[in-house]
Amino acid sequence: MYQIKSTALLKQVMREYFQSFEGRKVAWCTSVGPAELLRAFGFEVYFPENHGALIGATRMAERFIPAATKAGFSGHVCSYTTSDIGAFLSGDSPLRKHYGMEEVPRPDLIVYNTNQCREVEDWFHFYARHFKCPIAGIHPPRHLHEVGSEELRLVAAQFEQLIPVCEQASGVRFDIDRYRETLRLSQEATGLWQQVLRTAIASPPPLSFFDGVIHMGPIVVLRGTQQAVDYYQALLAELSAHVAEGKGILKKEQSRIFWDGMPIWGKIRMLSDLFLQNNSAVVASTYCNSWIFEDFDEQHPFESAALAYTRIFINLSEDAKMKMLKKWIGEFRIDGVIFHDSKTCFHNSNSRFGMHLRLKEETGIPVLVVEGDLCDLRFFSEGQSVTKIETFLEQIESRMYAH
């Protein structure tokens, strides 16, 4: 049976990460926040979104969300937010069982970037109030066609304004060389991660989207460290060897699918099996590609970080997103695109203003919208979704034979 052996190393890397908070200054950060800058001050960086994903993957969200709802958070806002806050209010966490942590690490500083959504601002302020902890944010212009020099100056200045806040919370003076070094490490890791994802251009691919969402752990939580670089070097070497030997997730690849939007964390295994049973490979996604930051440049640490983090897919206009989707469709030889309309993540559900139909019209590629959610499985109908996906894959197959 085909296996990615680096998974054992991944578990070790993630375990070591979660054990690294003891006795360290801790900064909380959004998943596409300025992690490199925080690491330059010696903070260990903790990511509540990663915790939200873990709650979703372990199917504990439904247990925790009611506590957040009781505290005034609507059940229709981001279920990372409500499951994470609900877990905190319930005094429980999957970190206990999986990583032996009693509780989430206490923050010395909380930093967010609204490049992905405003929800993170409200979510993180809840904790800043609770812990009476300093909090700072980056608020870039949103939904851009492209990032111009004016926007760049504005965001780079906001990055620089974080320096005194970080100095005060860490007790460490800013050292630009240290920042350049974390940015360089982050750039190296993100480049390796990109190469990892691009191994799926091969037929059969050595990993799917469903493997990608597991192996992306270090690029989210360990950006700016040597551990992330080492991990992706090992993973890339293994996957490249599989490609060279013609080994992959499928023996007979009948269709290649692109996944747009959030993962459905509690159904990763079920969906992975479903596509494999139908000889279909989900080879690329907007989600996994969101941690590729090609613009990092240690020579221009503030401007390049501002550019990289403002140009992310989720922060672009619909037209700019369409361009990126078309590029990936070509590169990965995509036969069909699935748009996950995630009930509680408006920002990462791209079919709500008709993008899926425009994409179909302009590329001729079939599209399907699947309704669900990142963590809250009450918004996901498994029977209905399985039928929809199987019918979609059959249509793609018959379309191929007709050509």
Positions in the binding site for ligand SF4 (CB under 6 A): 49, 78, 80-81, 116-117, 119-120, 262, 345, 347-348, 374
Instruction: Tell how strand 135-138 and strand 367-372 pair up.
Output: unpaired
Cβ proximity to ligand SF4: between 6 and 351 the closer is: 351
Q: How far is the CB of 52 from ligand SF4 (least distance, A)?
A: 7
| Alpha-carbon gap, residue 300 to 267, rounded angstroms | 41
Cβ proximity to ligand SF4: between 122 and 151 the closer is: 122
Q: How far is the CB of 159 from ligand SF4 (least distance, A)?
A: 20
Cβ proximity to ligand SF4: between 227 and 350 the closer is: 350
Q: How far is the CB of 241 from ligand SF4 (least distance, A)?
A: 34
Give Cα 141 distance to the centre of its chain.
20
| Residue labelled with tokens 């974080």 | 162
H or E element at residue 45: strand 44-46
Q: How far is the CB of 174 from ligand SF4 (least distance, A)?
A: 28
| Alpha-carbon gap, residue 348 to 229, rounded angstroms | 28
Task: Tell me the C-alpha to C-alpha distance, in Å, between residue 91 and each of 59, 103, 162, 364.
Answer: 17, 8, 31, 50
Rounded CA Rg of the chain: 21
Cβ proximity to ligand SF4: between 54 and 183 the closer is: 54
Show the tokens assigned to 246.
Answer: 């013609």
Q: How far is the CB of 328 from ligand SF4 (least distance, A)?
A: 19
Cβ proximity to ligand SF4: between 82 and 280 the closer is: 82
Task: Tell me the C-alpha to C-alpha distance, in Å, between residue 240 and each of 3, 4, 194, 370.
Answer: 14, 11, 13, 32
Cβ proximity to ligand SF4: between 27 and 78 the closer is: 78
Q: How far is the CB of 227 from ligand SF4 (least distance, A)?
A: 24
Cβ proximity to ligand SF4: between 123 and 332 the closer is: 123
Q: How far is the CB of 314 from ligand SF4 (least distance, A)?
A: 6
Give the type of residue at 397. Answer: E
- The total number of residues written for the chain in this structure: 403
* Non-local CB neighbours of 327 within 8 Å, separated by 6+ positions: none
Look at residue 197 and give its three-state secondary structure: helix
H or E element at residue 141: none
Cβ proximity to ligand SF4: between 119 and 260 the closer is: 119
Give Cα 283 distance to the centre of its chain.
16
Cβ proximity to ligand SF4: between 25 and 340 the closer is: 340
Q: How far is the CB of 343 from ligand SF4 (least distance, A)?
A: 11
Buried b (16+ CB within 10 A) or exposed e, 140-175: bebeeeebeeebbebbbebbeebbeebeebbeeebe
| Alpha-carbon gap, residue 379 to 179, rounded angstroms | 42
The CB density around residue 62, as the number of other CB atoms within 10 Å, is: 16
Cβ proximity to ligand SF4: between 15 and 378 the closer is: 378
Instruction: Tell how strand 135-138 and strand 109-113 pair up.
Output: parallel
Cβ proximity to ligand SF4: between 119 and 181 the closer is: 119
Q: How far is the CB of 77 from ligand SF4 (least distance, A)?
A: 7
Q: How far is the CB of 288 from ligand SF4 (least distance, A)?
A: 14
| Residue labelled with tokens 């800013």 | 174
H or E element at residue 111: strand 109-113
Give Cα 82 distance to the centre of its chain.
18
Q: How far is the CB of 56 from ligand SF4 (least distance, A)?
A: 10
